[in-house]
Amino acid sequence: MSNPPKTDDSSAEGTRIQKLLAAAGIDSRRKCEEYVTAGRVTVDGEVVTDLGRRVDPSSQDVRLDGERLRPQKKRHYLLNKPTGYLCTNYDQSGRRLAVDLIPSAGTRLFSVGRLDEGSQGLLIVTNDGELAEKLAHPRYQVPRVYKIQVAGVPTAQTLAELRKGIHFTEGKFGLKRTKRLKTHGQSTFLEVELTRGQNREIRRLFSRVGHKVMWLQRVSFGPLKLGDLAVGQYRPLRSEEVRQLQEFVRKSGKPESVQRPKKARPPAKTGPRTSDAARPAGRRILDVSEGTRSSTRASNEHSTDRGSADKQPGGHKPTDRKPGERNFTGEKRTAHKPGGRKPSGQGSTGRKPSGANAHAKHPGKVRKRR
């Protein structure tokens, strides 16, 4: 039975409301979902909190915080972020923002991923919320390459430990690749690669192994390269670069399944099956219940025969010693008639104990004198 074809969000029924907000450049789709569930979105004057709601922007009035959504042309920029700027759209302390380095022209822009305030380098700034979310999501494993300067000279063992990964509160962090560039005095320049961007991940990793990061610059993000773009400058992405980004996340989001080689099974036996009558002794196959009962019966009979064979009249086991030979205790063996009974109280010497010896042998008995 064939599965029905998958339908796109932008079908004849309309577009999911969170996707429409992200396409309008409001924010990433995940943030837009929070706006919807918070009751900040209205459709034709009605508050909508259902993420499954589909709308048609050409015939319906969709608003966020009372402002109507208007389709915007998607814009993509590459910025060489300088140090001292934050990758956010709002800061309570009034610190400088990286998005303010690019004229918005009435379009809400936001950065893809993050570079902390003390870092510099390649930063994508856009209003394409759908593409931005995919580029920043760990599922797509977008490679990020950095050039860093650390205090001291990390050993090969230390770099191997960083590639293996170190556990933090948020999980296990690690570098995908490390390359030593040069040594300058008491510091070392390295090139490292990540496939996901956790908060201050590189600085925390090297701090854990005792090498403080003194300088950090991102030089590539996926297929994009920083090149010779000056610090604090930006440029629009070419249409070919945008297509490369879209193609990269399309391939990374659907990894090919790895087929494990199957183990070769031994060839089946094709000869005629051996019947029970032709099987050698001791190899006959029995029914489970019948075999269990038969085995138990045979075991009991064997035990009974063995016990009767081992025992002789009088409760003694057979022996190969002849009368007159000494046993392991050194006592001389006396002969008894078959079926005879050993006299009561008679020891190995044949004499009957009396007096104190008799009382010592039977302490519970007291012989009365008549």
Active site residues: 116
Query: How many Å apart are CA 16 and CA 21, to the nearest integer?
Result: 9
Long-range CB contacts for residues 156-163, cutoff 8 Å, separation at least 24: 158/209, 158/211, 161/209, 162/205, 162/206, 162/209
Query: How many Å apart are CA 85 and CA 99, to the nearest integer?
Result: 9
What is the SS3 assignment for 158?
helix
Name residue, tokens 């302390």.
93
What is the SS3 assignment for 181?
strand
Long-range CB contacts for residues 52-58, cutoff 8 Å, separation at least 24: 52/16, 53/16, 53/17, 54/9, 54/13, 54/14, 54/15, 54/16, 54/17, 55/14, 55/15, 55/17, 55/20, 56/14, 56/15, 57/15, 57/20
